[in-house]
Structure 1
Amino acid sequence: MVQYVRDIRDPEHPYSLEQLSVLSEESITVDEKLGRILITFTPTIQHCSMATVIGLCLREKLKDYFPPHFKVDIKVAPGSHANEESVNKQLNDKERVAAALENPNLRQLVDECLYSSEL
């Protein structure tokens, strides 16, 4: 499963999420029968200001590989972020996600992380 998100670049570093151990094979669960995906990622620091951007990148990338009926839950690993509950709520609220991706600056940052040719 990591192959789908392997090339996402971290918003603050010139490395991929996989290279920074933000994501691993064990942190991604796909249940094809139930049409569910759960991704738990670990930000590089407790106060990572880019945790929501990382989650948006993961969500956008998965849209390219899975049918729209799949339910995607994206969360920070328990205890890995100071605002864990808030970040998880933002990343799994359809309206908040849609509004965030309508922001041109945020959309550009997400696109740079997804389609960077530097990796």
Structure 2
Amino acid sequence: MTNPANLKNKTGQGLLETVLILPVAIAFICLLLFVSYRALLYFYVDHTLHEAMICTDANSRSHCSRNFEKKVSKIVLKKEQVRIELYSNGFSGRQLKGKISVIGWKYPISITKVMNFPLKGDR
């Protein structure tokens, strides 16, 4: 049988363990949220850059850049800045390069893509 004196000595043990593990749990949850946000931002910006590059086939680059910035501004935090560059490569203008930089953290996100025109379905 359990001695009542032993039970009395262990009162408060659960509270003490909770107080010790709580900062670690909160830090882990914050890290998980931050990594999830950065992954979501990377894939969304990558997809939106692809859309902006396709947009340049029918519209001006400035129009497509504005649309891109409008879409991405909905997801980025206030302290982050997004820059997009769309430019032709070569003399024929048949190749388009797109570059995006998301700045605001120690490690910025930078994506570069190259797309050749005409697209397969346009031939």
Scaled by the length of structure 2, what TM-score is found? 0.29
Which structure has the highest strand share of the two? 2
Which structure has the highest helix share of the two? 2
Scaled by the length of structure 1, what TM-score is found? 0.30
Larger radius of gyration: 2
